[in-house]
Amino acid sequence: MRKKLWEKIRVDKKIIEHFIDGKSANQIQKIIQKGKGYILSVRDKAIEYNYIEEIIPGEKKYKAGIKRLPPFPESPFAIIDTKSEKALETDQYLEKEKAWIAERIQADWSPQTIFEEIRTPIARSTFYRYLHRNNFMKSVDLKKSPMEIIHSAGECLQVDWAKLSDVIDKTTGKKKTISVFIGVLGFSRYQMVRVVESLNFAATIEVLQSMFSELGGVPRKVTSDNPKVFVTTASKHEPRCNPGYERFASHYGFTIEALPPSDPESKGKVESGKKCTIYKKAF
Q: What is the pLDDT of residue 2?
A: 53
- The type of residue at 223 is T
Mean pLDDT of 21-47: 90
Stretch among 81-85, 123-127, 192-196, 199-203 having the lowest mean pLDDT: 81-85
What's the pTM?
Answer: 0.45
Residue 181, Cβ density class (10 Å: 0-12 exposed, 13-18 middle, ≥19 buried): buried
**Hey, which of 1-15, 120-134, 218-232, 234-248 has the most confident mean pLDDT?**
218-232
Q: Is 19 helix (H, G, I), strand (E, B) or coil?
A: helix
CA distances from 118 to 133, 174, 186, 188 (A): 18, 59, 21, 20
In eight-state DSSP terms, residue 173 is: -
Q: How far apart are CA 92 and CA 205, in angstroms?
A: 42
Q: How far apart are CA 120 and CA 137, in angstroms?
A: 17
Where do the domains of the chain lie? Answer: 2-64, 80-143, 156-282
Q: How far apart are CA 63 and CA 51, in angstroms?
A: 9
In eight-state DSSP terms, residue 53 is: E
Q: What CATH number does domain 2-64 carry, 1.10.10, 1.20.120, 3.30.1490, 1.10.3470?
A: 1.10.10
Mean pLDDT of 45-67: 88
Q: How far apart are CA 277 and CA 161, in angstroms?
A: 11
CB 60 within 8 A of CB 24: yes
The alpha helices in 150-215, defined as continuous H runs, are 201-215
Q: What is the pLDDT of residue 96?
A: 81
Residues 156-282, CATH architecture: 2-Layer Sandwich (3.30)
Contacts of residues 75-80 at CB distance under 8 Å and 24 or more positions apart, as own/partner, are: 75/5, 75/9, 75/12, 76/9, 76/12, 76/13, 76/16, 76/45, 76/46, 76/49, 76/51, 77/12, 77/45, 77/49, 77/129, 78/126, 78/129, 78/130, 78/132, 78/133, 79/5
Q: How far apart are CA 228 and CA 107, in angstroms?
A: 50
Residues forming beta bridges with residue 161, ordered by sequence position: 181
Query: What confidence tier does 195 reach under pLDDT thresholds 50, 70, 90?
Result: very high
CB 46 within 8 A of CB 19: yes
